[in-house]
Amino acid sequence: MAVAALLLGAWTVTAGLFAAAGLGAAATMALRRAGFDEAVATVDSLGLAEGWRGLRIGVAVDFNGLAGAGAVLGVLLDGRARLSGDLVVGLAGWAVTVTPLGCLNAKVEGLALHGEAVLLPEGAMLCAAKDAPVLRWSGDGAVVVAEILVPRLDLPAHALRVEGLTTLLTQTPLSQAVESHAATLRRTVTPAEIAPLAVTAKAEQRTGEPWRFTGTAIAAQGLLTAALTGTHDPNTGEGYADLATKPMKLTAKGPGLKTVSPLLAGLAGPSTGTLTAKAKVAWGPSGLRSGGQVRIQDGAGKFGPVAVGGVNGVVALSSLSPPVVPDGQTLSVALLDVGVPLTDGTIRFGYGRDRKLDVDEAVWRWAGGSVRADPFELSPTAPKGLVTLHADRVDLAQILTLVAVEGMDATGTLSGTLPVRLSGDRVVLDGGVLEAAGNGTLRYDPAHPPPALQGEDGSPGALLLGALTDFRYDTLRLTIDGEAGGELSAGLSVRGANPSFYDGYPVSLNLKLSGALDRILRQSLDAVRIPDMVRERMTGFDQKDP
């Protein structure tokens, strides 16, 4: 260890009252024997400490290459560092102690861990812990207890920043331990996928054995709490960390999902449901690897203009930094409003390094039939484009209930396309066309006809109302336009006859209908059907590795 070797070397030479040049040379030799092959120590002052506590030594150590030290620690390490400050070397019983006066200052340049840059733009400090000596040496060996303060540490390759890092290092002849606390661990991308975390970790190692560590991470005022476990083998340079969160319960009056993920801050309104996550981070000579899973239970909310409800499933991530969701992840969605309320759906998707959602398949039930989307791609932060839905064998009677026209009833099934246009905060159903697959009936017999259909016998309104009391259509075409959460308008074009109207004379009719969709969206879902494949992944979430 650099500090132990440095201080022990300094004590060794000062005990013999060597000259300053001799002290530096001896400390240099001690450091190089400890694995710092290119280290150079310089003693620039020598005298008695205040109060006759021992010998005061001003020292500076230049670590001109850290590869040798990395080999000792079992990591690929590179870069340059300089450690400087004043030390007090004294006696305590039969032991020699070394304590910094204040803290030793450290400056680092070109530091790289496994080939990836590690930046300390504000340097670091090495201090005594609770006024105890940093080094205590006796016939039983050396004991090191030091506190390392790093105001800021950046990992640019992973867009990570650690702020307020405090590490307590303890080393004995048989073991060593580290306790670290990071006031803030944050992603440096904008917007970040996860809120800043406060992280605490403890690690221990006995001679010849791997490091074993535990820790916790907390974000969003405790809404997100995660436990951390893992190991690191200095002989191979390999290790891993497992992270598992407690179930995060979102409520309508709670802080919401956006407090956990700034990425969703501009998208997510009030959200409900339960989220549980687990992840694994592994490292070694080949670099850093990460992955994880997120389980969603009964998720609901509003994301921009799109309302969703009854979201269930497990989503895998093949990378955490940046987040990557491989293609083929499946969620069941009980309700999705994209201008019409689609229910009981299944979505198969992925999310790439380009930060775009790639939907390979999306199928819902709608009005007794089904709706399937063409594959599409969009940015969750700025959704824009056209999504084409294909409706198949939807029930005309159920569609007409959406526009809530009193006294209207119909039979028949329709198929066609529903173009959905996404633009900023709007989702608009633009020019949907559904056509009947065959013959059917259309009946309109309201208890209170609108004024336009009222009148004396023989008036145009009365004639039209009479034709619609039992209309048998040969062709039917329905156009639909609307906006998510707003009004739905429909145009109905039919051709056919009423057997009781002018002896079944053929008639062509064009009608305009409208109604509010938000009434439908406020209705609770009686049942949420989760596909067996999705349910199996959810129930197995606690047993399977990420």
* Exposure on the CB side of residue 371, measured as CA atoms within 13 A: 26
Q: Which residues contact 222 (CB under 8 A, 6 or more apart)?
A: none
Place of tokens 């959406």: 402
In this prediction, residue 538 carries a pLDDT of: 59
Task: Taking the CA atoms of 24, 29, 31 and 32 in sequence, report the sign of the dihedral they define.
Answer: positive
Q: Are 216 and 228 in contact (CB under 8 A)?
A: yes
Beta bridge partners of 320: 323
Beta strand residue intervals within 30-70, DSSP E: 39-48, 55-63
Q: How far apart are CA 497 and CA 472, in angstroms?
A: 5
Amino acid at 545: D
Place of tokens 């990992």: 155
In this prediction, residue 200 carries a pLDDT of: 96
Beta bridge partners of 425: none
Closest CA to 29 of 55, 53, 61: 61
Cα 445 vs. chain centroid, distance in angstroms? 54
Q: How far apart are CA 7 and CA 134, in angstroms?
A: 9
Q: How far apart are CA 323 and CA 357, in angstroms?
A: 12
First to last CA, the chain: 35
Q: How far apart are CA 201 and CA 169, in angstroms?
A: 12
Task: Write the secondary structure of 68-101 as one string of H (helix), E (strand) and C (coil).
Answer: HHHHHHCCCEEEEEEEEEEEEEEEECCEEEEEEC
Q: Which sequence spans correspond to the domains of the chain?
A: 1-155, 189-285, 386-518
Helical segments of 363-419, H only: 396-402
Q: How far apart are CA 93 and CA 400, in angstroms?
A: 94
Q: Which residues contact 309 (CB under 8 A, 6 or more apart)?
A: 300, 333, 334, 335, 525
Place of tokens 């799109």: 306
Closest CA to 255 of 245, 264, 243: 264
Record the tokens describing residue 356, joined without a space: 């775009």
Contacts 24+ apart (CB under 8 A), 22-28: 23/57, 24/59, 27/59, 27/61
Q: Is 158 exposed, middle or buried (0-12, 13-18, 19+ CB in 10 A)?
A: middle
Q: Is 521 exposed, middle or buried (0-12, 13-18, 19+ CB in 10 A)?
A: middle
Q: Are 256 and 267 in contact (CB under 8 A)?
A: no
Report the residue count for the chain. Answer: 546
DSSP 201-270: EEEEEETTS-EEEEEEEEEGGGTEEEEEEEEEETTTTEEEEEEEEPPEEE-TTS--GGGT-GGGTTTEEE
Closest CA to 350 of 371, 332, 375: 375
Q: Are 360 and 349 in contact (CB under 8 A)?
A: yes
Q: How far apart are CA 42 and CA 21, in angstroms?
A: 7
For the chain, list residues with pLDDT below 70.
Answer: 1-23, 26-27, 30, 34-35, 69-70, 72-75, 131, 265-269, 303-305, 338-340, 381, 403-405, 448-462, 484-486, 513-535, 537-539, 543-546
Cα 280 vs. chain centroid, distance in angstroms? 14
Q: Are 443 and 468 in contact (CB under 8 A)?
A: yes
Place of tokens 């400087």: 84
Cα 419 vs. chain centroid, distance in angstroms? 31
Q: Are 49 and 100 in contact (CB under 8 A)?
A: no
162 sits in which H/E element: strand 160-171
In this prediction, residue 312 carries a pLDDT of: 94
Closest CA to 3 of 159, 126, 173: 126
